[in-house]
Amino acid sequence: MSDVSLLYLFLLIVSTAFFSTFFLTKAWIKIAKKGKLLGKDMNKYSNPKIPEGGGIAFIFGVTFAVLLYVFIKTFYLFTTGNLPEVLAILLTLLLAGFLGFIDDILGWKAGLSQWQKPLLTIPIAIPLMVINAGNSVMSIPFLGPVNFGITYPLLIVPLGIVGAANGFNMLAGFNGLEASMGIIILSTLGFIAWLNKILWLATITFSTVASLLAFLVFNKYPAKVFPGNSLTYAVGALIACIAILGNMEKIATFLFIPYFIELIIKAKNKFKTECFGTPQRDGSLKAPKKIGSVTHILLKFVKGEKEVVYSLLVIEVLLAFLGLIWFKPF
Contact 257, 320 (CB under 8 A): no
Instruction: Say if residue 314's pLDDT is above 70.
Output: yes
Q: How many CB atoms lie within 10 A of CB 144?
A: 8
Which comes out higher in pLDDT, residue 106 or 126?
Answer: 126
Contact 182, 239 (CB under 8 A): yes
Confidence of residue 106 (pLDDT cuts 50, 70, 90): confident
Q: How far apart are CA 21 and CA 31, in angstroms?
A: 15
Question: In terms of residues, how long is the chain?
Answer: 330
Contact 262, 293 (CB under 8 A): yes
pLDDT at 109: 53
Q: Comparing C-alpha atoms, which of 1, 68, 60, 49 is closest to residue 26? A: 60
Q: How far apart are CA 39 and CA 19, in angstroms?
A: 26
pLDDT at 116: 66
Q: Comparing C-alpha atoms, which of 162, 161, 181 is closest to residue 171? A: 181
Q: How far apart are CA 246 and CA 240, in angstroms?
A: 10
Q: Which helix (H) or strand (E) holds 147?
A: strand 144-147
Q: Is 278 helix (H, G, I), strand (E, B) or coil?
A: strand
- State the pTM of this model: 0.95
DSSP string, 63-107: HHHHHHHHHHHHHTS---TTHHHHHHHHHHHHHHHHHHHHHHHH-
Q: How far apart are CA 278 and CA 42, in angstroms?
A: 8
pLDDT at 111: 45
Q: Where are the domains of the chain?
A: 3-247
Instruction: Give the tens place of pLDDT for each residue, 234-246.
Output: 999 999 999 999 9
Instruction: Say if residue 277's pLDDT is above 70.
Output: yes
Instruction: Say if residue 19's pLDDT is above 70.
Output: yes
Describe the crossing of helices 177-195 and 305-327 by its angle, rounded to 10 degrees.
20
